[in-house]
Each structure stands twice: as C-alpha cells, then as structure tokens.
C-alpha cells in the first residue's frame, strides 16, 4: 500500500472497505494526486477477496468542493491507468488527454468496479464533487447535503463526467446546469438522485449499516446485479452520451481559449460568487 496523503483507507465493518477523502482544510478539493490515490484505493478494495462493499466518505464539513485548479495540475504527480497519451501536447490534444485520463476515465473505471459502492455524503458537493458521488452505486447523504454543477458560468456544458440526465432526470439536469443552483438533499431524494437522507450525526452509522446489510449477500450475486443495472444504463446510451458531451466540453474549453485566452470564461467566477 502506498503512503497516501490525500485519503485514508480502513475496514470499519466485516467485508466493508472505506475510503475517506482526507483534505478537509481544502473542503476536499481534488488535485490529480488525490484522484490518483483514490484510484489506488479503489483498486486495493476491488482486489481484496475479503471485501464485498466499498464506502466512499469524506472528512470535514463538506464532501468535496470539486477540482483543485489553483495550481496547474501536473501529470508528473501521477501514474496514468488508462491508455491516454501526449498529456503535454499543444493545442487541444494535451488537455483533452489529461481530462480523458484523470476525469472521465477514472470516473468510468470506478463506476464499473464489480462490487457495490456507496457514497456517504455531507455538506457541499460542487461540480467535480459530483464526479465522485455519481459513479457510486448508492448514495446516502445527510440532510445538510447540497449538490450543484455551476460550471456553465465558465462557458462549458457541465463537469466532465456528463451523466446529469441519467442521474437527475432531464428536467432537473437542465435546471441545475442552466441556473447553477444547489439542490437540497430532500430535492435530490424526490428526484431519485440519492437513496437515503439521514441526520448528519447518523450518516456514518446508517452508511455502515447499509454496507453491512449488502455485504451479507454473495459477492457474485452482487456483481451480477450491479452489472445488469449498469448494462441497462449502457443500453440507454450512457457511455455514448458521456463521450458525446466530453467532445462538446472541449469545444467549450477551446472556444474559451480562442476568445478569452484561458480554458474557462474568466467572468464565470464572478457570476458564481455573486450568487453564492
Ligand atoms: Zn474540463
């Protein structure tokens, strides 16, 4: 096991692994290192024959404020696990490859782990934060949880793992994207976007109770059930939709480069802050 600095890993119940985002001082903002460590931890839990259910939790008041773009993310910090290449190439090529590897590629990899996964969510989940929550199979959240993807203000279509219509339904997806507003835990429950809403102080115990309940079932049955639901989503075009939207996402990034000289519209941050 590597020396992880952005996450923690433990086994809080029989047959249950828990990965915890451990950067609360930055509201669990995700840099490339955190994403890489998360992937290593998911691999560890996947390959452990004594683990049947994986929980993804977070330290602190907020699950995740999204991608940490304060420092220019550096692929030298991480070991790619996909087949992307030319990460430092000029033009659209390098940045598209980096987002394909670190964002869409990892999300899709985690979505297809052949064991049940549960997100345990409190506080704010913003943009890239949803890219950790939505690839999980089930979502338990506290009643103070809120979910938003405000990045249309940056002149792109939404965050890179574009599954909003599948996760929230098309009306709420458009509402979230057009307005950038946060939806509450109860609204998310009403739209089938989360499985359970619990009191903040019961989030950990309720999540582990659910994980332990699931973990009594045979591994292969759980794997077959998961794959069958995932196949149904794929039959509705989920993967093709993600790839289609990812292409449009990069039309947005490259439009911004041509017009503003940056990947995102610099006015976006003022729009978002004025509505916070
Ligand atoms: Zn992007």
Domains and CATH numbers, the chain: 7-203+218-275 (3.90.226.10)
Each residue's pLDDT tens digit, 183-192? 999 999 999 9
* pLDDT attached to residue 71: 63
Distance between CA atoms of 27 and 261, rounded to whole angstroms? 28
* pLDDT attached to residue 108: 98
Cα Rg for the chain, rounded, in angstroms? 18
Furthest CA-CA distance within the chain: 56
Q: From ligand 1's centre to the CA of 71, what distance in Å?
A: 15
* pLDDT attached to residue 43: 98
Q: From ligand 1's centre to the CA of 99, what distance in Å?
A: 6
Name the nearest CA neighbour of 209 among 109, 120, 128.
Answer: 120
Name the nearest CA neighbour of 243 among 80, 104, 144.
Answer: 104
Each residue's pLDDT tens digit, 173-225? 999 999 999 999 999 999 999 999 999 999 999 999 999 999 999 999 999 99
Q: From ligand 1's centre to the CA of 222, what distance in Å?
A: 33
Counting Cβ atoms within 10 Å, is residue 63 exposed (0-12), middle (13-18) or buried (19+)? Answer: buried
Distance between CA atoms of 159 and 170, rounded to whole angstroms? 16
Distance between CA atoms of 148 and 126, rounded to whole angstroms? 5
Task: Identify the DSSP state of 160.
Answer: S
Those residues of the chain that have pLDDT short of 50 are none
* pLDDT attached to residue 70: 74
């Amino acid at each position: 096991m590597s020396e992880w600095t952005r996450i923690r890993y433990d086994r809080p119940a029989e047959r249950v692994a828990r990965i915890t985002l451990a950067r609360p001082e930055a509201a669990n903002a995700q840099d490339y290192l955190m994403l890489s460590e998360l992937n290593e931890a998911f691999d560890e839990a996947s390959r452990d024959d004594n683990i049947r259910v994986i929980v993804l939790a977070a330290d602190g008041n907020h699950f995740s404020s999204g991608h940490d773009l304060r420092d220019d993310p550096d692929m030298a910090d991480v070991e790619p696990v996909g087949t992307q290449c030319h990460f430092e190439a000029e033009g659209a090529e390098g940045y598209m490859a980096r987002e394909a590897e670190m964002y869409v590629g990892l999300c899709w990899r985690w979505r297809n782990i052949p064991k049940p996964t549960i997100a345990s969510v409190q506080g704010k989940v913003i943009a890239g934060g949803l890219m950790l929550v939505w690839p999980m199979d089930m979502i338990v959240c506290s009643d103070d949880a809120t979910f938003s993807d405000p990045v249309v203000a940056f002149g792109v279509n939404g965050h890179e793992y574009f599954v909003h219509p599948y996760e929230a339904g098309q009306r709420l997806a458009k509402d979230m994207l057009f307005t950038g507003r946060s939806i509450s835990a109860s609204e998310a429950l009403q739209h089938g976007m989360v499985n359970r809403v619990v009191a903040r102080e019961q989030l950990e115990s309720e999540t582990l109770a659910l994980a332990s309940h699931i973990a009594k079932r045979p591994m292969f049955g759980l794997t077959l059930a998961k794959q069958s639901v995932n196949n149904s989503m794929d039959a509705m075009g989920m993967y093709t939709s993600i790839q289609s939207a990812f292409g449009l996402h990069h039309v947005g990034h490259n439009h911004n480069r041509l017009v503003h000289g940056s990947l995102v519209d610099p006015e976006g941050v003022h729009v978002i802050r004025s509505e916070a």
